[in-house]
Amino acid sequence: MDYLARKYLRPRKIPSTACSGCGLGQVHKKVLLAIDELGLGTGDIVWGTGIGCAGRQTFNTWKGDNFAGTHGRVYALATGLRLALPPEKKIILTVGDGDAFGIGLLHLLNCARRNVGLTVIVCDNLGYQSTGGQYGWTTPAGYCTDSSPLGMWEPNWVQGGRDILAVLKAAGATFLARHTSFEGRNAVLSIKKALLNNGFSLVHVYFPCVTNFGARALGTRRPAAIYQWFRERTAAMDQAGPEVDFPLRTGIYYDASNSRPEFCENLRAWVAEVQEQGGNR
Amino acid sequence: MKRLLETGNGAITEGAIIAGCRVFAGYPITPATEIAENMARRLPRAGGFYLQAEDELAALYICIGASAGGMKAMTATSGPGYILYADPFGWAISSEIPLVIVNSQRVGPVSGITGAPGQGEFYLSRYLTHGGNFENIVLAPAGVQEAFAITVQAFYLAERFRMPVTILADQLVTDGWETLLIPETGAELEAMGLKVIERRVNRGPEFYPATDAIDVPPVVLGHNTGAACSDWTPTAEGYDTEEVEWQHKHAYRLIYKVRNHKDLLTRYEAYFVDDEPEVILVAYGSPSRVVKSAVKVAREQGLKVGGLRLVTLWPFPEEIFSWQAKYLVVEMNYDGQLVREVQRATPKGSAIHFLGKCGELPRVAELVELIRALVNDRPLPCNPREREVW
């Protein structure tokens, strides 16, 4: 991670202990590039993580302040922290697909409803990989994992007319985007826009798992073959994509940045108003 | 001094605001809902924030986040919500986050009766989270004025010990109306024996002393100190580690910062004990008030009996059960939770008896009858649902 790592990450956390060939480093680097290009420093951001591959590999890598929540609960914790921090401090959460779209979905939806000023980066490796490769909430239909040995039969959050981003949009999120870790500038631009939104932003980034998803679902541990699988399925949201079993439609899904008041700023303003009226409200 | 007719719920609200609490996140549940409602009314006027959370997990995590950001926070619930605190409570214990948790116990298990009192979370309040390797501070008020004082003390202890402090109340304490005196100046607060500590910021580089030290400023995020706060095993700098040696140090700290400073914590009330009576009644919370009346009535009738009321429940005050006697433990549950700890703490040769009540208070006359039987070495009248000789 070169100069970005030296500038923003703790030396003892480099290199990461992620599996060789893991795409998480690519996602991590995109977030750092976005931070760097916005001219932000370690004091501008408090970095939170969840659990699983994404949480474990990104926790405490940031040279500034860090926290890690228990599985799926970091959104509520970040809501409380948002209340206590000055509005100009940014909170980034790097979490996994299970953390965000499974166990933590209730809290995530409520952050979107409230429009809490958080930038959530969902690092999605298509299942529960740190526990050995079980199916998750975005595992493609029909693919085999350790807990769907005969094929993924349970409806997921991204197929069959469903899209978790649509659910988050309906809940009130003000910036939503989706990318793969293989994409370059587009993903960085989306993360930058997410960081500039004074409200709830979520960027969903798919990345390859070589060790479990690759081996079990795709039948290969070769990064090149897994890359090919992703490439064949990736198409921009505003273009007609290829007819594939699991389309990865990337780009900005919804951008209503700065269109709704941020929850904590709104609450602060309301409390100030109550106090100005001498508490006679 | 302001004098009001107030409930325990109201007293806890006022105590929290005086102690500097500016964030309350809660989820409505009888009989603790009025704390949330009072906070929603009172906090904005005091410049604070009330949040209604999506569930109890979120409620406690929001408090944790606010506290990790430097604000004093509190949440309140009853048994069915309290069990959901298990996950965030562990996080706060391990990360040493100061905050206050109120549990107004109702009869259970599970939903039970919303409007009937219980004392079924005595052990849960000690062992609310998984993994072991921690000690816990739990205080139990028996009335409205005490609920106020204990709330202020709970915030004070939370700051000094860098940990969540639990107020284990019951429905009769939180819903009951009594006179409440609220101090209006620092001097009045001090005259009540109460103190408030402002939040400090740990600037590192050592965020976690691997000792039993108290009065260490808590980790506060957002000051660009490179602070790290998580549920993972921390090194002294707060980094996560997989080395078991650090887990040993962490466990030592979490257990012995409390145990080695027990003298700052142990609070109890002992009455009619100067003549070392043969029979001692033990209780906490609402039943302790009936017990006190019964002991007084029994003394008037010439029965040599005394009483102990526990205010500090955890760490358990073993040292106050210093003499051999016939103990009668009175609780608002049928399974006997406190009685087991008393049995463990009392000197050899003591006889331990139990009177359990389920969803209601014991009666003075019934307690006096039991005291008379114990003093005269007669067997206790035995209703198998209610009484048991231990």
3-state SS assignment for residue B350: coil
Q: For residues B181 and B110, is the Cβ–Cβ distance under 8 A?
A: no
Last residue of a domain, one of B192, B214, B247: B192
Residues B187 and B328 in one domain: no
Residues B40 and B185 in one domain: yes
Which residues of chain A neighbour B70 with C-beta distances below 8 Å?
84
Indicate left, alpha or beta for A49 from its phi (over 0: left) and psi (-120 to 50: alpha): beta
Nearest partner of B119 among B290, B348, B325, judged by Cα? B290
DSSP per residue, B96-115: T--EEEEEEEBSSSTT--TT
B254 within some domain:
no
Residues B186 and B325 in one domain: no
Confidence category of residue B71, pLDDT binned at 50, 70, 90: very high
Q: Which two tokens mark B11?
A: 């007293």
Q: Which of B53, B69, B221 sits opposite A76 (nearest CB)?
A: B53
Residues B159 and B291 in one domain: no
Chain B interface includes A94 (CB < 8 A): no
Tell me the angle at which helices A105-114 and A164-171 cross, rounded to the nearest 10 degrees: 40
Q: Which two tokens mark A197?
A: 């939104």
Q: pLDDT tens digits for B160-213?
A: 999 999 999 999 999 999 999 999 999 999 999 999 999 999 998 889 999 999
Which residues of chain B neighbour A267 with C-beta distances below 8 Å?
49
Domain CATH code at residue B290? 3.40.50.920
Residues B172 and B290 in one domain: no
pLDDT for the residue numbered A17: 83
Task: Tell me the CA distances in angstroms from A74 to A78, A205, B84, B364, one per residue in order.
Answer: 6, 18, 16, 50
Long-range contacts from B367-372, C-beta under 8 angstroms, 24+ separation: B367/B281, B367/B290, B367/B291, B367/B294, B367/B298, B367/B330, B368/B294, B368/B297, B368/B298, B368/B301, B368/B303, B370/B328, B371/B279, B371/B281, B371/B294, B371/B295, B371/B298, B371/B303, B371/B305, B371/B328, B372/B298, B372/B301, B372/B303
The CATH number assigned to the domain with range A20-279 reads 3.40.50.970
Q: For chain B, give me the number of helices (H) and strands (E)?
A: 13, 16
Residue B384 has pLDDT above 50, yes or no: no
Average pLDDT, chain B: 95
CB contact under 8 A, B232 and A106: no
Residue B390 has pLDDT above 60, yes or no: no
B-contacting residues in A 34-73 (Cβ below 8 Å): 42-43, 46, 59-60, 63-70, 73
Number of domains in chain B: 2
**Prediction ipTM score:** 0.97
Percent of chain A with pLDDT over 70: 99
Residue B366 has pLDDT above 80, yes or no: yes
B180 within some domain:
yes
Residues B178 and B30 in one domain: yes
Domain CATH code at residue B27? 3.40.50.970
Q: For residues B119 and B333, is the Cβ–Cβ distance under 8 A?
A: yes
Residue B5 has pLDDT above 70, yes or no: yes
Chain A interface includes B55 (CB < 8 A): yes
pLDDT for the residue numbered A114: 98
Q: pLDDT tens digits for A49-74?
A: 999 999 999 999 999 999 999 999 99
B383 within some domain:
no
3-state SS assignment for residue A27: helix
pLDDT for the residue numbered B238: 86
Long-range contacts from B86-89, C-beta under 8 angstroms, 24+ separation: B86/B128, B86/B129, B86/B130, B87/A70, B87/A73, B87/B57, B87/B129, B88/A70, B88/A73, B88/A77, B88/B57, B88/B60, B88/B61, B88/B64, B89/B60, B89/B128, B89/B129, B89/B164
CA distance B358 to B344: 23
Cis peptide preceding A86, ω within 30 of 0: no
Query: Quick one: average pLDDT of A115-139?
Result: 97
pLDDT for the residue numbered A16: 81
Residue A279 has pLDDT above 80, yes or no: no
B284 within some domain:
yes
Residue B383 has pLDDT above 70, yes or no: no
| Cα A74-A17-A123 angle, rounded to 5 deg | 40
Query: Quick one: average pLDDT of B366-390?
Result: 76
The boundaries of the domain holding residue B188 are 2-192
Residues B183 and B329 in one domain: no
Last residue of a domain, one of B164, B192, B220: B192
CA distance B173 to B176: 5
Q: pLDDT tens digits for B206-252?
A: 899 999 999 999 999 999 999 999 999 999 988 889 999 999 999 99
Most trustworthy range by pLDDT among A259-263, B224-228, B375-379: A259-263
Last residue of a domain, one of B192, B219, B250: B192
For residue A17, the tally of other CB atoms under 10 A from its CB is 9
pLDDT for the residue numbered B389: 47
Residues B69 and B181 in one domain: yes
Query: Quick one: average pLDDT of A140-150?
Result: 97
Domain boundaries, chain A: 20-279
Residue B385 has pLDDT above 80, yes or no: no
Q: Which of A66, A107, A271 sits opposite B54 (nearest CB)?
A: A107
Contacts of B91 (CB under 8 A, 6+ apart): A69, A70, A73, A77, B61, B64, B97, B231
CB contact under 8 A, A73 and B57: yes
pLDDT for the residue numbered B324: 95
B257 within some domain:
no
Chain A interface includes B69 (CB < 8 A): yes
Lowest mean pLDDT among A11-15, A218-222, B98-102, B296-300: A11-15
B218 within some domain:
no
* φ, ψ dihedrals at A280, nearest 5°: -90, 30
- Closest CA in chain A for residue B42: A279
B226 within some domain:
no
Residues B171 and B316 in one domain: no
Chain B interface test: which of A59, A67, A82, A267 (most B C-beta within 10 Å): A67
B73 within some domain:
yes
Chain A interface test: which of B62, B199, B225 (most A C-beta within 10 Å): B62
CB contact under 8 A, B231 and A76: no
Which residues of chain A neighbour B221 with C-beta distances below 8 Å?
46, 65-67, 81, 85
CB contact under 8 A, A110 and B58: yes
Residues B179 and B282 in one domain: no
**Which one-letter DSSP state was computed for residue B54?**
S
Nearest partner of A263 among A189, A203, A197, A193, judged by Cα? A197
Chain A interface includes B224 (CB < 8 A): yes
Residues B282 and B183 in one domain: no
Q: Which residue has the higher pLDDT, A95 or A243?
A: A95
CB contact under 8 A, B230 and A279: no
Alpha-helical regions (H) of B272-359: 287-300, 338-345
Q: For residues B275 and B289, is the Cβ–Cβ distance under 8 A?
A: no
